[in-house]
């Protein structure tokens, strides 16, 4: 009788353990899927939500591997490396993510495997790739930029690498921390859906990526603000709380085409007022944010996707635009000009991108 009870007890424990494992597996899968949700829309299925949690270290390692392998037999794509790591970890980039990316890079470079072989049974790889490509897709590539030679003369050089810039001009100090999701109370209680960079009034604000000006003017929350859309339509860059009386580059208007690294405006503390040109923000800072748009229905309303830009801001510090001041107009301009193929391609198209372009 005791043996029967013992066996029943063991069986019961096994059933409990099996149930626990199933629940844990379901939890892990659900945690993976919360990073990206998919909905059906007028343009087919599109991503509904993205948690952008890629660490600064992972961004740097993946980027370096991409650039270093540009002319190698196997060119490593940094977004593919990051998407693989994201799919393996459910979008969480802990200490092991860097070594995982490095191991993947070695195997691909040595021809031991291919990415298609590794990801053919990875249910979430395609989702992570599309999400990360939406964030990072316009930031690395070929371009031409002016550089100084040994004689101090400006010469054009063709480059492959980071063609996105920090939103703060080179030589201008700022402070920041990860404030995404912090509480805000002006108007109504809400989350902070951007990244604040504190500095001095008049600090030149730089266009992170090439694109066209979609919004320009006053908003009671953001004060004087600029909204720039990437040429592929996937990213909307929002720059807010610009300087009182002199917020923008003088030639900037809605529809203007800007090149990454251009001066677009100046840091201030306008906003939190229905009255235009009012300084009602306590701390001088630039608020910049990135909205992802997979379907035009997400542009405004309850379906907006804003990502945490703190790690991205740290990463973009690698590329800061040097500026110089026109003493007559008091404007700042970039010192080294840049030719971005994305600008040329857009100008040849001669039209705004459609949502499914």
Q: What is the pLDDT of residues 64-82, one digit of tens each?
A: 999 999 999 999 999 999 9
Quickly state the pLDDT bin for 193 (edges 50, 70, 90): confident
Domain ranges in the chain are 48-136, 164-338
Backbone φ/ψ region at 56: left (φ over 0), alpha (ψ -120 to 50), beta: alpha
The CA distance from 336 to 149, in Å, is 12
Closest alpha carbon to 304 in 44, 47, 130: 47
pLDDT 10s digits, 7-16: 445 554 544 4
State yes or no: pLDDT of 155 exceeds 50.
yes
The CA distance from 49 to 294, in Å, is 10
Q: Is 245 exposed, middle or buried (0-12, 13-18, 19+ CB in 10 A)?
A: exposed
So what's the pLDDT on residue 148?
95
Closest alpha carbon to 318 in 208, 169, 166, 198: 166
State yes or no: pLDDT of 32 exceeds 90.
no
Q: Which of 42-56, 61-75, 149-163 has the lowest mean pLDDT?
A: 42-56
So what's the pLDDT on residue 165?
98
Torsion angles phi and psi, residue 284, rounded to 5: -70, 125
Count of positions (residues) in the chain = 357
H helix count then E strand count, the chain: 8, 18
Closest alpha carbon to 119 in 73, 156, 79, 62: 79
H-helix segments, the chain: 2-34, 56-68, 78-89, 96-109, 115-119, 125-136, 310-316, 341-349
Asked if 208 contacts 316 with a C-beta cutoff of 8 angstroms, the reply is yes
Q: Which is the CATH superfamily of the domain at 164-338?
A: Glucose Permease (Domain IIA) (2.70.70.10)
């Amino acid at each position: 009788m005791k043996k029967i009870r013992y066996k029943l007890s063991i069986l019961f424990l096994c059933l409990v353990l099996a149930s626990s494992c199933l629940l844990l597996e379901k939890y892990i899968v659900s945690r993976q899927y919360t990073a990206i949700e998919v909905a059906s829309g007028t343009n087919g299925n599109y991503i509904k939500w993205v948690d952008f949690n890629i660490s600064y270290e992972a961004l740097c390692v993946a980027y370096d591997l991409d650039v270093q392998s540009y002319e190698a037999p196997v060119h490593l794509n940094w977004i593919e490396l990051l998407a693989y790591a994201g799919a393996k970890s459910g979008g969480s980039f802990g200490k092991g993510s860097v070594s995982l990316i490095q191991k993947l890079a070695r195997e691909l470079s040595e021809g031991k495997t291919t990415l298609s072989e590794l990801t053919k049974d990875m249910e979430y790889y395609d989702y992570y790739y599309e999400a990360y490509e939406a964030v990072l897709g316009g930031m690395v590539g070929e371009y031409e930029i002016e550089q100084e030679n040994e004689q101090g003369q400006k010469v054009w050089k063709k480059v492959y690498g980071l063609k996105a810039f920090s939103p703060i001009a080179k030589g201008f100090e700022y402070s920041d921390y990860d404030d995404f999701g912090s509480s805000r109370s002006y108007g109504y209680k809400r989350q902070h859906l951007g990244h604040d960079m504190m500095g001095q009034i008049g600090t030149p604000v730089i266009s992170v990526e090439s694109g066209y000006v979609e919004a320009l003017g006053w908003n009671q929350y953001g004060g004087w603000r600029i909204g720039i859309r990437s040429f592929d339509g996937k990213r909307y860059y929002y720059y807010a709380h610009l300087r009182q009386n002199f917020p923008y580059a003088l030639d900037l208007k809605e529809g203007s085409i800007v090149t990454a690294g251009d001066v677009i405006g100046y840091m201030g503390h306008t906003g939190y007022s229905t009255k235009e040109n009012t300084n009602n923000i306590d701390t001088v800072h630039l608020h910049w944010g990135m909205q992802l748009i997979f379907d035009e229905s997400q542009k405004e309303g309850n379906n907006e996707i804003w990502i945490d830009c703190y790690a991205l801001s740290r990463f973009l510090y690698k590329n800061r635009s040097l500026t110089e001041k026109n003493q007559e107009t008091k404007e700042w301009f970039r010192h080294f000009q840049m030719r971005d193929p994305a600008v040329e391609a857009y100008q040849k198209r001669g039209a705004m991108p459609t949502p499914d372009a």
